Amino acid sequence: MKKLKIYFLTNLIVLFINSQLISQNGLIGSGFGTNNWSITDNFVGSSGTSRIGIFTPNGTGNQYFRLVTNWTGNYNQWGPSSSTEDYSVSTETEIPSSEIIQNSTTKAYYTNVTSIGHNYVFKTKAGGNPPSSIGLIVFKVEGDIRTVSSVSKDKSIVYRGQPVTITATLNGSLNPGQGVYLRYSIDNFVNSTIVEMAGSNNTYSVTIPSDINAAGNTINYYVFTSGDGLTISGEKADWYTINLNNNLGANFTYNVNGAFISAQAGEWGTASTWVDGIPGIGESVIIDHNVTLNQSATVSSLTINDGKVFDGGSSTLTIASAGVLTNNGTFTANSGTVSFAG
């Protein structure tokens, strides 16, 4: 068997982009890229510190490769720990750092290829001489790799306790081996949650749950693609991203409005009438369904949305000092009373 050689980083390529010096990782071998063991095929920068290389295989069956440092003139090869056995790489499975050894040139990595029409995505955690963090994962996509074209949410204003559906539009239908994911956070990605989106054709959606949207929270989120059917932790999002541009160049953000908004038609004193429970004293309230006041209440402000009816019943609604009642719909007083405390 021909000995495989993979270099973790390739020749130093100097690119001045935004006044930053950019270099790359790479691989060599007979399996992917240039079909020889002397030319390194470069990776390029990806999300965070990670590096990415996308190649079609040179043949079917077992295809061999190694990583190359290729950073600041260092061409050291990186291979498996064994000097007697080549290392079998399963796609969508991390290669442990203990199996990525510098100056390991006796054996190589390999993966079994069934079609030369598939795209193989090589992701390493970081560059450097040596790399600042060691890690390799390989993804196989059975066709074109899709990218995210646009991202939208189903509500222009998000009120407390409301779920929010995020929809991603891709530049084509996903092929086997690629999935699309939403990453969201309430603390600017110090902690985060990643969920796979569901859909068909080129449209995929997932819902950020209602308990995340507490009053006053700021939600940061973005969409990226990776392998399919994966459970990905937040700290691995950059490493697992298989597109060069993971989130259209910027994160998306919305602020949760603290007002209580109705969830369905009903009485004021019924919890199910509201998205986040019965409004407490001094809260701001949005009437977005037909609601009847069946108990006295005090609010800081009340807005009746277009086409909705607020029925005063026989109770008293108190608008706190400097508060406002905005009627864009219909207010029916009946025997009820609106009192402006100011």
Which tens digit of pLDDT belongs to each residue from 43-70? 998 888 999 999 999 999 999 999 998 8
Cβ-based neighbour number of residue 234 at 10 Å: 15
- The answer to whether 296 and 270 have CB atoms below 8 angstroms apart is no
CATH superfamily, domain 148-257, is Immunoglobulins (2.60.40.10)
Residues 6+ apart with CB under 8 A from 292: 266, 267, 268, 311, 313
Confidence of residue 245 (pLDDT cuts 50, 70, 90): low
Q: Identify the sign of the CA torsion 126, 129, 133, 138.
A: positive
The dotted CATH code for 6-141 is 2.60.40
What is the reported pLDDT for 11? 34
- Residue 273 predicted with pLDDT over 70: yes
The pair phi, psi for residue 91, each rounded to 5°, is -65, 150
Confidence of residue 20 (pLDDT cuts 50, 70, 90): very low
Domain ranges in the chain with CATH number 2.60.40.10? 148-257
Residues 6+ apart with CB under 8 A from 231: none
What is the reported pLDDT for 18? 30
Confidence of residue 277 (pLDDT cuts 50, 70, 90): very high
From the number of C-beta atoms within 10 Å of its C-beta (0-12, 13-18, 19+), residue 196 rates as middle
- Residue 195 predicted with pLDDT over 80: yes
- Residue 19 predicted with pLDDT over 90: no
- State the Cα–Cα distance between residues 245 and 150, nearest whole angstrom: 12
Q: Which two tokens stand for residue 309?
A: 């009816």
- State the Cα–Cα distance between residues 234 and 192, nearest whole angstrom: 5
What DSSP assignment string belongs to 183-243?
A: EEESSTTSS-EEEE-EEETTEEEEEE-GGG--TT-EEEEEEEEESSS----GGGHHHH--S
What is the reported pLDDT for 185? 97
What is the reported pLDDT for 21? 34
Q: Which two tokens stand for residue 105?
A: 């040139």
The whole-model pTM stands at 0.87
